Amino acid sequence: MKYKLDLAGKELTVEIRNLAEQANADVLIRLGDTLVLTTSVMSEQEREGIDFFPLTVEYEEKYYAAGKIRGPRYIKRETRPSDEAICNARLIDRTIRPRFPKDLKKEVQVISTVLSWDGENDPDILGVISASLALSISDIPWQGPLGTIRVAKVDNHFVLNPTYEEREKSQIDLVISSAEKKGAASDESRPTGGEILTNMLEGGFDEAQEPLLLEAWEFSEKYLKKLIDFQNEIVAKIGKEKIQIATPKRDLELENEIKEFLGKRLEETIYQKEKMARFNKVSELKKELINFVEIEYPQQGKIKYALDFLEKELERIL
């Protein structure tokens, strides 16, 4: 299945060809003659005893993608990832990670492989878009899709997904990723303003002023929405039903006791003017909470739940 989208005169092509049969989903994406394959995989079993989401993102560059084989004649394999490949993997990670459920403890792996590079279109943006689409059409729990673009300004004109030459002449090199605002309907007759939320920003700037960045955002907004709608259309046609994950049961009795224990001290701690004083007060409060739970619920494994609840209370106040 092949899908096409016009982006400021450039044709973005997406193919769903089931090239990675054991993956939950795979996407082949092309811009110009730059071609990227992204796969998404999730384990069947949860990882026990962890308090973080086990996500792995890899970005693989192949020298054959640029039409060359490097290294001494007897080296038969490519070496460690380049610095740019590592940065691009982190770019994808920062973009997609916040959209996963907090309670997901199954291992998820996203791999973007550059199969072809034309020397003009950077594959990093394609890696992010294809990762978004691969996760969206898969059965992996994920709140997407995301629109991602690069913006430059050359000769007083904003350029969408500029070439390497255009980026060298630009005062800004800005990557923007956005998600559809929760509850916003996809309707081309409606204005884009207010329908999408910024998910991730990254860029390099040459003494750029704030108004310039706001203009860049206004320029990019319609393209971000266009990319999100494009992916939503594909998901509506071939997307799999998402796997349901078990939501931990709330311990309302413990939560009420924690609230009573904290009283107004949490607000007083947060509103400390000095940063270090605030940090120290929060640390002391955590220690007191741990002691309180250990006394009230000895050897019942409720400390982690109490600390997680404290973090949620901090987020609520802030």
The DSSP secondary structure of 85-101, one letter per residue, reads: HHHHHHHHHHHHGGGS-
CB 163 within 8 A of CB 226: no
In the chain, where the domains are located = 2-238, 252-317
Which pLDDT value is given to residue 208?
A: 76
Asked if 205 contacts 171 with a C-beta cutoff of 8 angstroms, the reply is yes
Chain position carrying tokens 């992204």: 38
Q: Rounded to an integer, what distance in angstroms lies between the CA atom of residue 225 and that of residue 223?
A: 5
Comparing CA positions, the residue from 227, 38, 30 lying closest to residue 117 is 30
End-to-end CA distance of the chain: 46
CA atoms within 13 A on the CB side of 74: 0
Which residues make Cβ contacts (< 8 Å) with residue 147, sequence separation at least 6? Answer: 129, 132, 177, 178, 179, 196, 223, 224, 225, 226, 227, 228, 231
CA distance 306 to 288: 11
- Which among 219, 236, 244 is positioned nearest to 152, based on CA atoms? 219
Q: Take residue 30 and report the two structure tokens written for it.
A: 């092309």
For residue 75, the number of C-alpha atoms closer than 13 Å in the C-beta half-sphere is: 8
Question: 107, 50 in Cβ contact below 8 A?
Answer: no
**Cα 94 to Cα 222: distance, rounded to the nearest angstrom:** 22
Region label for 291, one of left (φ > 0), alpha (ψ between -120 and 50) or beta (otherwise)? alpha
Side-by-side strand order, sheet with 172-180: 157-160, 146-154, 172-180, 196-205
Residue 69: predicted pLDDT? 59
Cβ atoms 248, 103 nearer than 8 A: yes
Looking at residue 78, its pLDDT comes to 62
Region 2-238: CATH code: 3.30.230.70
Residue with tokens 């998910």: 199
The whole-model pTM stands at 0.79
CB 318 within 8 A of CB 268: no
pLDDT by residue for the chain (318 residues), tens only, comes to: 899 999 888 899 999 988 888 999 999 999 999 999 999 999 998 888 787 889 999 999 887 787 765 555 555 566 678 888 999 999 999 999 999 998 888 999 999 999 999 888 999 999 999 999 999 999 999 998 999 999 999 888 999 999 889 998 888 999 999 998 864 443 433 334 448 888 899 988 877 788 888 999 999 999 999 999 999 999 999 999 999 887 777 888 888 888 888 888 878 777 777 888 888 888 888 888 888 888 888 877 788 888 888 888 877 776
